[in-house]
Amino acid sequence: MSGNQRQGIGVIGVGKYVPGKAVTNAQIEEWTGIPAADIVAKTGIVTRYIVEDGETASGISAVAAKQALDMAGVSPEQVGITVACTFSGDYVYPAMACKLQGLIGAKNSGAFDIMANCTGFQVGLGVVSDRMRCDPSIEYGVVVGTAIQSRFIKWTDPESAMYFGDGAGAAVMGRVPEGYGVLATEVFTNAKVFDSVRLRGGGSSYPLRPENIHEGLQYYEINGMEVWKQVIQHQPTAIEQVLRKIGKTAADVDFFIFHQANLRLIEYLMGKMKQPMSKTYTNVAAIGNTADASLAIALCEAVQQGLVQHDHLVVISGVGAGFTFGATVVRWY
């Protein structure tokens, strides 16, 4: 189809990769001293999975992207744009998306990375849908959210060890009938809490050197209470604002996909919007917080399980370090 028959830009294929190496709450208790029962009570997380030594961010991204391409029935040569949403690419630079483009064979695609942390995949969907609207020659796009966090976690630090796992998720975007696909996107940032979640080592302000290698700059630093406050203050606002753009409210939404940071936060958000938990999907108990991959994996699993269906109004919403809040509303095709 072409012309006015295909004016929307929507997700037409999804894929994921979750590593096989489990880290249980019993292990976290042994390393940090936090009782396993307390971890569940605070976060809802039971297990998280991390990559093996030889696995790479680009490699696990390619697995997810190939699954999404297969589901969409799209060949790699048809892809016009490849976007990787990650802070944990193979190198500081160049962009991981460039490596991914080669691994999946998308030789006709431009490629670049987006760093919006845990809301990166949601931001990426908006960027690619915008690019495809602006450039009719781009028929298909690939958006991947990827996180290899295990290599930046100090496993004796309870603030980070209890939460995080690794993984990758992907979506293929294509042209769908008018009225379907991405309807609106909202992104806003509260820079006042920029330093509340950070990884300083390797940045230009904190280059790793022999003289500072033992200062712990290469590990996550997290203010968990500040994260909680930011989410409960601002994420409902992001959702409300994106829905207002299309004249809808939370009650009109058929399904919500949230960043899987903490089960208790998701329960809070649904309660705040007066929506039942049956209208969302969670996997945080099973795989932990997979950061940039979280929204993508949750969306993939919800689609695979038939929870997201044709004509559903779907909100995809996350919050990322910085702090960046986002929400995208999609009419599912």
d(CA 323, CA 232): 13
Is the separation of the CB atoms in 305 and 283 below 8 Å? Answer: no
The residue among 132, 133, 117 whose CA lies nearest residue 295 is 117
Active site residue 118: yes
Query: Per the residue annotation, which of 117, 259, 262, 300 is the catalytic one?
Result: 259
Is the separation of the CB atoms in 22 and 49 below 8 Å? Answer: yes
Element (H, E) at 122: helix 120-134
Helix axes 120-134, 294-304, angle to 10 degrees: 80
d(CA 228, CA 238): 15
Query: Per the residue annotation, which of 85, 117, 289, 300 is the catalytic one?
Result: 289
| Residue 46 exposed, middle or buried by CB count within 10 Å (0-12, 13-18, 19+) | middle
What backbone phi and psi angles, to 5 degrees, belong to 219? -115, 155
d(CA 299, CA 307): 9
Please state, in angstroms and as integers, the Cα–Cα distance from residue 217 to each residue in 32, 100, 263, 323, following that order.
19, 28, 29, 20
Is the separation of the CB atoms in 171 and 299 below 8 Å? Answer: yes
Query: Per the residue annotation, which of 25, 98, 117, 118 is the catalytic one?
Result: 118
Annotated active-site positions, please? 118, 259, 289
